[in-house]
Structure 1
Amino acid sequence: MPNFTITTFDWVPELPRGYVRDIRLRWALEEAGIPYDIELTAFNERENAHYLHQPFGQVPWLSHEDKEIFESGACLLYIAEHNDELISTENRSSVIQWLFAALNSVEMASLPWTILKFSEDTFESDSSKAIERFLHSRLKHMNEYLRGKTWLAEQFSVADIAMADVLRLVDRFDGLKQYSYCRKYLEQCVSRAAFKKAYKDQLELYSRI
């Protein structure tokens, strides 16, 4: 019986389907070959119980034995510590720094930009232009780092899961078109069987509801 459980929303609008962050946990568990269950929590009417598990009313959260963890990065690190393929003694420090970089350096720049893209902003205001410049400054450095590299930390790890998922959303709006190494890196990440399974399962969940 699976003893890992991912809790995610019972429904989301069409726009974010395939990008809800439980996909990061699904992907990691698929890579690790660890069985897991999916439990659902209400999207439209979030009850007090939801906030006991996730103080900000978001998803996902991960349950394992007597533990619960929220925030996708923390969940990824927890999963990795139960599988040598996703983090090892030799590359642990590198994986951790790149996991944090994906969420704190790249996603911090990409998320405001993608929100503006979702809202069909024209990027004519000074503030919108500043957000776009900030993102491109981060992508420029990522692109240079990825030159000649396959993975962020020598072998595929949870850092790549986090970074690829961040870059996927940028790529959805053609934000990577001038960053060839970022695009190549993303393509090899999402070509993995574990990602394809996680992505398919998330889409199927919301297509049934």
Structure 2
Amino acid sequence: MPDKPQIITFGWVPEFARGFVRDIRPRWACEEVGQPYETVLIADAKGPEHRRLQPFGQVPAYRDGALEMFESGAIVLHICEKAGKLIPADPVARARAIQWLVAALNSVEPWVAALAVNDLFEADQPWSATRHDKVVADLDGRLADLETALGDRQWLEGDEFTIGDLMMVSVLGQLRGTGVLDRFPRLAAYVARGEARPAHRKAMADHLATFDRPAAA
């Protein structure tokens, strides 16, 4: 049994995916709460060994003692609950922080992902160009709602950075390089604040350094 929690992720991804793989989320959570961890690098997420940990053949997966789990949101929640950090002690504030974590994954990320699917992964399909404007309009609508909810606050619930912010910044960070957030200056500033946190900078640097190593066997 490993002494440290393990984050299982890819040892190599194409250039365009670097900085966007979801192992950045548990890495960031570990850095925020001061939890040392190690990475297990894989080349194939679709094989039977990895599917035992992650039935959908994705990354990350996670081991913590006898616990094996998947889904970045669940992993982040476990890391932070175990450490007692990034989750407010007050039950109402705790519930609202978890609410934002779920909102990031359920109410925002599908619209963010739709843009990548349309403009990147399906760019060679005949419907991609004609669908682009609708995908962007849907995403803009969702981001406008989020910007209104954020208002002038530093973080989603005020002055305290929580797991909800970690997940929301991570989701919005997938728009890096698209110019979409330029239309939402408060959200752009919010993401910049999150990504400027030392824990995020360390997690991202370690994530990117993975790809300087030889590819996993």
TM-score normalised by structure 2 residue count: 0.89
Cα drift, residue 124 of structure 1: 4.1
Cα drift, residue 144 of structure 1: 1.3
> Could you tell me which amino acid in structure 1 is paired with residue 120 of structure 2?
F
2:185 maps to which of 180, 183, 186 = 180
Q: Is this contact kept in 2: 1:117–1:173, CA < 8 A?
A: no
Aligned counterparts of 2:94 and 2:203: Cα–Cα separation in 1:
24
Query: How many residues matched?
Result: 207
- Partner of 1:3, secondary structure, is coil
Cα drift, residue 3 of structure 1: 2.4
- Which residue is 1:32 aligned to? 33
Q: What is the correspondence of 1:1-209 to structure 2 with a 5 Å cutoff? A: 2-43=3-44, 46-90=46-90, 91-119=93-121, 120=123, 124-125=129-130, 127-154=131-158, 155-209=160-214
Cα drift, residue 2 of structure 1: 4.3
Aligned counterparts of 1:110 and 1:128: Cα–Cα separation in 2:
12
Q: Could you list the runs of 4 or more consecutive aligned residues of structure 1 that deviate by over 3 angstroms after TM superposition? A: 119-124
Q: Give identity over the alignment, percent.
A: 37
Q: Could you say what the CA RMSD is over the residues aligned between the two structures, in angstroms?
A: 1.8
Q: Is this contact kept in 2: 1:27–1:194, CA < 8 A?
A: yes
Aligned counterparts of 1:107 and 1:100: Cα–Cα separation in 2:
10
> Could you tell me which amino acid in structure 1 is paired with residue 15 of structure 2?
E
Gaps of 5+ in 1: none
Aligned counterparts of 1:174 and 1:208: Cα–Cα separation in 2:
31
Gaps of 5+ in 2: none
Aligned counterparts of 2:176 and 2:213: Cα–Cα separation in 1:
27
> Could you tell me which amino acid in structure 2 is paired with residue 152 of structure 1?
L
